[in-house]
Each structure stands twice: as C-alpha cells, then as structure tokens.
Chain A
Amino acid sequence: MNNLHIKIKNSHLNLSIDTSLPLSQGIVGVFGKSGAGKSTLLRVLASLEKAATEKTVLKKHGFEKNAEHTITWQQQEYNNVQAEQNPCLLQTQQAQLFPNLTVLENLEFVLKYSNWAKQTPFTIEQVIQWCGIEHLLTQPSISLSGGEQQRVNLARSLLCGKPIILLDEPFSALDWNARTQLLSLLVQLQQDYKLYFVIVSHSLKELALCSQHILVIDNGELVQSGSTTELIDKLTHASSNSEIDSGSKTDAGFSNQTRFSTLTLTNPVALTEYHLTKWQLSDGDKNLVIYTKGSETTRSESKGSENIGSESAGCESKNLDNKSSKKLVTLDANRVSLSRQANLDTSMLNHLEANITDITHIEHLVLVTLNVQGQTLYAEISLLSFSNLNLQLGETVFAQFKAL
C-alpha cells in the first residue's frame, strides 16, 4: 500500500496531525478554511518547513520540546531530508516561475538540473500538450497571466519526476471550464502513470471532481477524514445538521458551502451543430440523458491534434487517450427545479425522473434529495413551492435543469 503516513506535532507552526493519506486509492484532497493550516501541512510534507526552526524557538522562548515531523512513504522515513531529496513536490498557488527564463526554459531547467528528472515518465512534448501551453513556449514567463502561469507551473511540476505532487490551490486563477479539464487530467495521470497527488482547495466542487479521499483540517488539526462522497455529503449539509451537532468544530466555517450534486456521466455523443454533448446518466437506461455545453467528444475522437482551443478557455487540455467516455460533473442544488409532470414545453434541456429520498428544511428553503438510477441529486426549492407541490417522501417527480 502506497500510503503516506504523517505524524506532525509542532506548536510553533500550530500543527498537530497524525494520519495516513491513502495515496494509492486516488487523489487526496485537503479542505479547510483559510488559515486552517493546509498550506503549512503541505510545506512540512515537502520539507520546506523544518523541524529545525523549532530548535531556535526552543532556545528563545523555552517552549517544551514537542516538535515532531515523521513522514513515512514506502517504508522509508523522510523526517529531516532536504527538500530536493523529499519525494513530495510542492506546487504553490503563486506559480513562481523563474522570471529570468522563458516558458520553455522553465520546463527545460527542471529536466536538466533536477535529481529526479530521470524518472519522469513522459516527454516534455506530452506535458506541453496536456497542459495546453504550446502557444506560450517562447514567451518570457513574467509576461503570462495568472492562469497561464498556473498551467506552466503544473507542466513544470509534472516534468520534475517526483512521485508525489502536492498542489496548493493549483488552479485558482483559471476559469471553471479550464479547471475541470486540468482536474480530469490529474485523475488520468494518477491512473495511467502512478503519480500521486494531494490537492488543497477551499472549493468542495473542485475536490468532488478529482479526489477519492478528503482530509478536513481546522486550526492545525485533522477534524475529519474519509471518502469524498461521504464527506461532501456531510460538509454540504453541515448547516442543516447544525442543531444536532452544533458542538462539532467542523460546522464552523463550512456551512456556507453551496449544496451541489456530483453526477457521473457516460457514453457521450456530440451534437456539434448545437455545441452540446449528450451523455447517459447510467449505463443501463438509455433514456436517461443529460446535455452539457460544448461538443467535447469530437475533441477526444480527433485526438486533439488540430484543436488549439477556444479563446475563453485559453487552450483546452487534451485527454490522455480516447477512452474519456466518463465524466464527473457538479450541479448546484439551487439550479434544479422540480415538477410533478414531465414538462417538455420548456427550454430546460434536462429533465430526469427521480424519487424523493429525503426532505430537509434549511431556514426558508427546502433541500430535496432525489435518487436517479442510484445517483444522488439535490434540489433546493423555496418553502412556497414546496407547500404548493405538497411533496412527500418516496414520490416520483421530474427534476429539471439547463444544460450543464
């Protein structure tokens, strides 16, 4: 098992975490408020925050000696190794490309001088294509926009050859479209190349799309840890449960997270003339279709060779291979409306027949949990519509929403 065991106790950094990250299961997400210690945790994992700093503090203030950094990966301990020997690479939110070099030189620098570059499992051309930075190569790195810098930074990290990549809000400057593409790139890389990712984010949606396991950190301590589906349910319903476990620390900062559902889509069919893609919600029922914006399948079918991407998304990243017939999407609960009849005289493209499995009152709103072929869908409706429709548990309704 490729688990990363961490045992960190450091009063100076206000961090006390003893857990193991199940890296082999998939991408691990780290979630928490700003200032909760997420970034510090990553810095410690990457050996950029030394236990040694504790010694100077000890001398000065006479703190009790309770600093401990124990990081174990594949039966080896990395407690006080230098950052360059640590198998974890930290990629920060600020891209910090080397300002004296062009984009291409930034990438070549890593290949030339990194101790790990021999282990890089792919070529520089592949990485450039995946990250969609072909058109930036000759530019000086300081002339790039924030989003472009983050793309180049990801490319540089991938070329480094270290097996574990720690990403601290890596795509914060990119729009949602580009973000989802890069997140699915990470998932693909994790599966195909045995690369391990730990991703810090304050967006649960981002984590829903890529991670398998989530750690929730608050005030330097691990407050929750579990599979993504479980934890996202818990965290987005935090406010509804607040009466039950108001004493729990978790609820404090996360109740304002918008509720959303994560749906798995399969078997895409491109509707090029409408710039839409038709997906199936489940393999079994061919009638359950969902439309999404953009005709993405054409891209993977053409192997992305001539695709330079639309202006808005900068340059779209290509999927690693053609088998991208599966896609995760998020859907905000307040974008879903409910109807008792199958209403086809509407501009809403998506209408799904669903069963009501749960009804929760949250202040002046009602959160209705629906079951669509085993997948969970949330709809947030007003109290008025709820009483007008007189919805009951177990009833069948139609959930409607616009193309995603």
Chain B
Amino acid sequence: MTDWFTDAQALWLTIKLACLTVILLLLIGIPLAWWLTKYQGRLKPIFEALVALPLVLPPTVLGFYLLLAFSPDSWFGQLWITLTGEQLVFSFSGILLGSLIYSLPFVVQPLMAGFSQLGHQYGQVAASLGVPPVKRFVFLILPLIKPSLISAATLGFAHTLGEFGLVLMIGGNIPGETQVLSIALYHHVEMLSYDKAHNLALVLLCFSFVSLTLLYKFNKPFYSNDKSHRTSNRNQNSAVD
C-alpha cells in the first residue's frame, strides 16, 4: 500500500465523514432547532448550554468521555455491539457519532438564529390562510430560512473537515477506517515527511477556503426589514381625502 493510496483514502474518508455528518445533523438539527426556538420553559438555558457545550469544550475532553462511553465495557458500547455486531471505538461509526456531537452546535445555532429571526408572523399568516402546520413548515418556513440552512450545512461540513483531537481519541489512526486528513497530516509530520504533509495541508486549506467562499457567495438574504427607503420614494399617493 503506497502512501499516495493511503492519503487518497484519508481524503475520501474525510469527505464521506463530513457529508454524512452534515446530512444527519440537518435531519436532527432542523427539528431540534425549531423545537428549541419555540420552547419557552424553564429548562431552556440548560438545553441551549448542552447544544453549545462542544463549542467550548476541548475536543480531548469530549473525546475522553466518548471513549469511555463507546468502550465495549460500557452499557452503551455493549448495546451498540448487540445491535450492530461491531464495536464503536476505533471504527468509522464511532468517529461519525463523535463528529455528530462535536459539530452539533455549528449546525443547530445558525438554524436557531434563523428561526428566531424569522419570528412567527409568517407562520401565523399562513395558518390563518388555512395552511396546515407541516405544509407551513416545509413549503414556507424552510424556504424562508434558506440562508440559515446554507450556513448551517457549510459550517457543519467545514468544521467536520478539520476535526482532529476527537477523532484521535476515539478513532485512533487506522488507514481506511478512521484515518482522516488531519490525522494523516499529523502522521506525516511525525514521520518528518514534510512534502506529503504540505500536500495534505494544502488540500485542507483549499477545501475550507472554497466552502466558506461559496457560503458567502450564495448566502444572501432575500428579504430585509429595512425597505422604508423604497416605499417612501415611490408611489407616494397624495391623499385626495
């Protein structure tokens, strides 16, 4: 197995991990963010803190607890083995589950910001017009927060790309299974093969740069609250009253 092949494998693994993470997180994050925006109970700060926790926690701390939880000795690791027949630690499923938790705030927070900025006025208008809740959500609310959806997906993707500490803790460095780009890069540096490290670093840099550029290019809100300058200039009908 050549180094070139393992690097390509690491690249593929990274993209697969990032894509799966984003898809799953959007599926989880959209309902979660919607619910959390509407929820006004006493426990709201606790839920918000739980969602935001991976932002401030060192990845190694998170990785350490996940390693303990995923190990075949724990009840969760046991359960996973009985359900799937595989163990979680040092497996692709393990790092996928880890990145879901790790990247959760990067997806949920832009969505929550989108939902709360939108408010409930358009939902109420649609409700009064006789549009049932599910149709309102799918055909009105989601299109209205499209900019936030794009932000959430891009941030989740870019953040998963650069994941290191957590993957190292719970996934280790197994080529083709858990060796993602950042870990392969670290491996090359440890081996003092700086040329290969350069290549991988450049790939990661380009990926992050391109995804952020695309985000800012397409993430233009189509509505603004301040359109008073237009209305005042145009069509000022003199009251004939």
Interface residues of A (CB under 8 A from B): 46, 48, 82-84, 86, 88-90, 92, 96, 98-100, 109-110, 112-117, 140, 142-143, 145-148, 156-157, 160-162, 174-178, 205, 312-314
Contact = CB atoms under 8 A, between A and B. Distances in A.
29 contacts: A83-B124, A83-B127, A84-B128, A84-B129, A84-B132, A89-B129, A89-B130, A96-B122, A96-B125, A98-B140, A99-B144, A99-B223, A100-B144, A109-B140, A110-B129, A113-B132, A113-B135, A113-B136, A117-B130, A142-B222, A143-B230, A145-B234, A147-B237, A160-B129, A176-B239, A177-B240, A178-B237, A312-B237, A314-B237
Contact of A100 (B133, B143, B224, B241): B143
Given A89-B128, A116-B130, A175 B237 contact: yes
Contacts of A117: 130
A38 B125 CA distance: 18
B121 A96 contact: yes
B131 A113 contact: yes
Contacts of A96: 121-122, 125
Question: Quick one: which of B125, B132, B227, B230 has the most chain A CB within 10 A?
Answer: B125
B44 to A, nearest CB: 14
Contacts of B124: 48, 83
Contacts of B133: 82, 84
Given A96-B122, A110-B129, 7 more contacts: A84-B130, A84-B131, A84-B132, A90-B128, A142-B223, A148-B235, A176-B241
A336 B41 CA distance: 62
A115 B230 contact: no
Interface residues of B, number: 32
Interface of B: 121-122, 124-133, 135-136, 139-140, 143-144, 146, 222-224, 227, 230-231, 234-235, 237-241
A48 B128 CA distance: 8
Nearest to A148: B235
Given A145-B231, A147-B235, A98 B122 contact: yes
B144 A98 contact: yes
Nearest to B131: A113
Contact of A142 (B140, B227, B240): B227
Nearest to B124: A48
A145 B139 CA distance: 25
Given A99-B144, A100-B144, A113-B139, A175 B128 contact: no
Contacts of A140: 222
Contacts of A86: 128
A207 B204 CA distance: 67
Contact of B129 (A156, A312, A314): A156
Nearest to A157: B129
Nearest to A149: B231
Nearest to B121: A96
B43 to A, nearest CB: 15
B131 A114 contact: yes
Contacts of B238: 175, 312
B142 to A, nearest CB: 10
A145 B235 CA distance: 7
B132 A175 contact: no
A48 B129 contact: no
Given A89-B129, A89-B130, A117-B130, A175 B239 contact: yes
A114 B139 CA distance: 12
B122 to A, nearest CB: 6
A312 B130 CA distance: 34
